[in-house]
Structures are given as structure tokens and as C-alpha cells.
Amino acid sequence: MTTTDDDAITVQQDRHRVILLVGFMGAGKTSVGRALAKRLHRRFLDLDEVVVAREGRSIAEIFSQSGEEGFRVRESAALQELLRELEQTSDKAVVALGGGSLMQQVNRDSVSASRFPVIFLDASPEELFRRCRAQDVARPLLNDLHAFQDLYRSRQAHYAGLGTRLETTGTSADEVCNQIQRSLALAEEKH
């Protein structure tokens, strides 16, 4: 049995039917994820939104009532369930993972085992801090710039170890989508 170019494209498209976006807060996971999902006619899922829906309370409320550790337990459970669900279906999706979701080894192992492509959206910590401050979103881990930089440095290797790094500083969501499509050799899907 010989494989054709069409067979190789089919295998690649199946492997790329789910795209995981990772990165620190403010990297653009949600805005890029929404734009990419729309462009590729896929479902968009944000892990933070999945946790909020499961818990029936905001992330800030979970942090306040259960602490960061309590939030991370809930986030990990939601991620494990979501990856199992996506592996067992033929659904096409773009998934934005929470900025701290990859700090637990079990989550990194599950993401790696999924074999879905991981795109690490990155920018300088100063740029990420500026973006987060400009957003009207309660971020429990957004304190001062120095604490933010320290947290960024502690997480950066975990993101980089899982996927393709794309610089987002000074880049629009559309431009980042173009970079992702080029990186994964994905054509815009007709629906």
C-alpha cells in the first residue's frame, strides 16, 4: 500500500483538527483563538470559560473562596475532561488554555499525549503587563510589574517546551492567525 499526498494531507488535517493555544496572560490566546476558530470554521473553547461554566462562579470568586490551589485543581479536572472529549470525537476546535494550566506536570503530560499541535503565543513581559492592565478583566495574579515578570519567567519554559513559539508583540490577531496557518500548513476551510 502506498501513501499519496492526499493521504498525508488527510493525516495532517486530522492531527490539526484541534489546535491548542498556550501562553502567559495577555498573550492573545482568547482574541487569536476566537479569530482563528472563525476563520477555520471551528468551535472555540477557552479553558477559563469551561471552568467558570462547570463551577457556576467567576475565576476571581474561585480564587477568593478556594485559593489558587483550589482553582488549579478545578482547572486541571476541566482540562483533562476536555482533552478526553476532543480525542474521542472528530470535532474541530481551537482551544485557549489558561496561563497557569501548564504549571502542573499532569497537564503538560496530557497536552503532549493528545498530540494536538500547541502554539505558544509570547510577548515581552512588559508588553503582556500593559495589555493586561488595559483590559477590564479581574486577574487574580496581576499585581505589580516585578511580580508579573517573575511569574512570567517561572512559566515561560513550560510553554516553550510544548509547542511552536510565535511572537505577538505589535502583531494583530489576524497576523498571528496567518502565522499559525503557515506554521501548521492549514488552508482556510470552506464551510
| pLDDT surpasses 80 at 118 | yes
Mean pLDDT of 42-63: 94
- pLDDT tens digits for 53-81? 999 999 889 999 999 899 999 999 999 99
Report residue 77 as a C-alpha cell.
Answer: 479536572
Residues 6+ away with beta carbon under 8 Å from 172: none
User: What's the pLDDT score for residue 163?
Assistant: 86
Q: Does CATH place domain 15-184 in 3.40.50.300?
A: yes
Q: How far is residue 178's CA from residue 124's CA, in Å, rounded to a whole number?
A: 21
Domain ranges of the chain: 15-184
pTM for this model (two decimals): 0.87
